[in-house]
Amino acid sequence: MEANQITVTSPLLPDLNEFNELLKEIWDSKWITNNGSFHRRLETALAEYLKVPYVSLFTNGTLPLITALQALRITGEVITTPYSFVATTHSLWWNNIKPVFVDIEWETGCIDPNKIEAAITPRTTAIMPVHVYGKPCNVDAIQAIADKYGLKVIYDAAHAFGVEVNGESILNAGDMSTLSFHATKVYNTIEGGAMVMHDEQTKKRIDYLKNFGFAGETEVVGPGINSKMDEIRSAYGLLNLRQVDAAIEARHQVAIRYREALRDVEGITFWDDLPGVKHNYSYFPIFVDAEKYGMTRDELYFKMKSQGILGRRYFYPLISEFSTYRGLPSAAPENLPVAHKMADEVICLPMHHALSEEDVERIINAIVEK
């Protein structure tokens, strides 16, 4: 079993017969990409489901990050987190922007707003926080800092599909938010992604940029890229959207069982749900205190792996530890103590809506029975 494992036996996967009918419709229409009807329908359906004004679909979750930076004309330095998937920081590097790492909060894994101001320089133009594991960042504190210093805020919300705080989508925070619809996510289009923006003019500019910058047959308005989602994955996404609530609830039940079984295991900690937050249960990280548990995180990880249980040390190592970034002054380990502690202790347990009770109990037993 792998974290966020995909299985073809799940009753919550899109109906294959209906998918075949949609494929025939696409075939008959002779329109398989370039803003076809399924592409437009999925953008509308997602905007309604996610409670956001505008959605632009992309072919993966990295390209909207790169394009958001282009669209907002971000330059210089951007303050971000070392505790994320490498795509977050790679998007900056591809835009010739210097990432500046600051530490995270132990309570959420998200960027610590109290560390941001000290990292701001005259070259700082934006903040790129990450809603880690779908846990919402402190968006009010981050926005207050951005407003004070005239900075843009782009949220990497790859894990945050459907997450709300007090009934409001966290995707509405900041200037833009980006999503990943990779096959390992709560909601997927096999491969795919999206950007959320606040106004129609920005939506139009993004749509130009993801199609080479074309604003018409003979007019190019900017140095765009080819990052459109095709009709086949858009159709799959429409079907998948129908079952996402049931999938999230199934994951919720797995999380409840994990918490119930592991709460009293000395040396194993995890996060409970935050008050007022609608979670999507995309991940279930546990943290291993080697001294109290009697086994290091890696020892437990490889023990589970030997039993066919593939958790993930997610995120380990930190982005700041990779060769591309470790030479940056902000990557120094002494600047990032909380992030290093979390990276050294985390295991994300298998989490999927198709996990059987037997699978869940086997995972639990591997942790409880030392």
56 within some domain: yes
**Tens digits of residue pLDDT in 129-154:** 999 999 999 999 999 999 999 999 99
Question: Does the residue 316 lie in any domain?
Answer: yes
Instruction: Evaluate if residue 98 carries a pLDDT over 70.
Output: yes
Per-residue confidence at 14, pLDDT binned at 50, 70, 90?
Answer: low
Q: What is the dihedral of CA 194, 199, 200, 205, to 10 degrees?
A: -60
| 70 shares a domain with 48 | yes
Give percent of the chain with pLDDT exceeding 70: 96
Q: With 90 as the cut, is the pLDDT of residue 109 above it?
A: yes
CA-nearest of 232, 182, 197, 198 to 42 is 232
pLDDT score of 15: 75
Between CA 289 and CA 266 the distance in angstroms is 8
Q: Domain for residue 184, yes or no? A: yes
**What would the mean pLDDT of 253-266 be, rounded to a whole number?**
98
Structural domain contains residue 322: yes
Same domain, 128 and 33: yes
Closest among 337, 353, 354 to 345, alpha carbons compared: 337
- The predicted structure's pLDDT at residue 254: 97
Q: What is the pTM of this model?
A: 0.94
Across all residues in the chain, what is the average pLDDT? 95
Domain presence at residue 1: no
Which of 240, 261, 295 delimits the end of a domain? 240
Q: Which domain holds residue 257?
A: 244-368
- Whether 235 and 264 share a structural domain: no
Residue 259 reports pLDDT greater than 50: yes
Residues 102 and 35 in one domain: yes
Do residues 36 and 147 both lie within one domain? yes
Q: Total structural domains in the chain? A: 2
Question: Is the predicted pLDDT of residue 74 greater than 90, yes or no?
Answer: yes
Residue at 4 is within a domain: no
For residues 26 and 131, membership in a common domain is answered with yes
Residue 232 and residue 84 share a domain: yes
Residue 11, CA distances (Å) to 16, 246, 252, 312 in order: 11, 10, 17, 25
pLDDT at 319 > cutoff 70: yes
Domain finish residue from 240, 268, 291: 240
Three state DSSP letters for the chain: CECCCCCCCCCCCCCHHHHHHHHHHHHHHCCCCCCCHHHHHHHHHHHHHHCCCEEEEECCCCHHHHHHHHHCCCCCEEEECCCCCCHHHHHHHHCCCEEEECCECCCCCCECHHHCHHHCCCCEEEEECECHHHCCCCHHHHHHHHHHHCCEEEEECCCCCCCEECCEEHHHCCCEEEEECCCCCCCCCCCCEEEEECCHHHHHHHHHHCECCECCCCCECCCCCECCCCHHHHHHHHHHHHHHHHHHHHHHHHHHHHHHHHCCCCCEEECCCCCCEECCCCCEEEEECHHHHCCCHHHHHHHHHHCCCECECCCCCCHHHCCCCCCCHHHCHHHCHHHHHHHHHEEEECCCCCCCHHHHHHHHHHHHCC
Cα gap 125→232, rounded to integer Å: 38
| 193 plus 279 within the same structural domain | no
State pLDDT tens for residues 159-215.
999 999 999 999 999 999 999 999 999 999 999 999 999 999 999 999 999 999 999
The last residue of one of the domains, among 240, 255, 278, is 240
> Are the CB atoms for 78 and 52 separated by under 8 Å?
no
CATH code at 112? 3.40.640.10
Does 229 share its domain with 279? Answer: no
79 and 110 share a domain? Answer: yes
**216 domain-assigned:** yes
Q: Reply yes or no on whether the pLDDT at 16 is more than 90.
A: no
CATH code for the domain of 334: 3.90.1150.10
336 shares a domain with 249: yes
Contacts of 224 (CB under 8 A, 6+ apart): 208, 209, 210, 211, 212, 213, 214
Q: Is the same domain home to 143 and 288?
A: no
Q: Residue 9: inside a domain, yes or no?
A: no
